[in-house]
Amino acid sequence: MSDTKKFLYVNRKAPYGTVYALESLEVVLIGAAFEQDVQLLFMDDGVFQIAKGQDTGEAEMKNFSPTYSALGDYEVTKMYVDKQSLEERGLTLDDLIHLTYEDEDDDYAEKDSIRLVSREEIAALMEEQDVILSF
């Protein structure tokens, strides 16, 4: 397993209505150990997975949103968000968790992980992947 492939995780569902988001995150965390070229894409209701200020207390479910902030430490640094999905839901970049990573090639400068992309850019992104896991 010496070869590196481009992996894209496509997250399309809201975080707590179904288990897909949580179990997708579990794949990303395990997958990080395999040193592949990893990208995450949030679109449709998946953009709510990284919404700020999640509180699941009264729903008696585990709030796993803090884990997204740790992904930078796992060298998962490319998080694409579909601009149109945000707009359709009345959200902006400011409504999302501020996800960052330390760039070891740039004196560990803190950089933003989230990149807003258009549907056309998403098509191009998908085109260049070896493996697409859709959740």
Q: Does residue 3 belong to the site contacting another protein (CB under 8 A)?
A: yes
User: Exactly one of 1, 55, 104, 106 binds another protein (CB under 8 A); which one?
Assistant: 1
User: Exactly one of 14, 20, 95, 100 binds another protein (CB under 8 A); which one?
Assistant: 20
Q: Which is nearer to another protein, 36 or 54 (CB)?
A: 36
Q: Which is nearer to another protein, 43 or 114 (CB)?
A: 43
> Which positions ≥6 away from 94 have C-beta within 8 Å?
none
C-alpha span between 78 and 72 (Å, rounded): 9
Look at residues 49, 113, 33 and name the one whose alpha carbon lies nearest to residue 85.
Answer: 49
Residues in contact with another protein by CB under 8 A are: 1, 3, 5, 7, 19-20, 23, 26-27, 30-31, 33-34, 36, 130-135
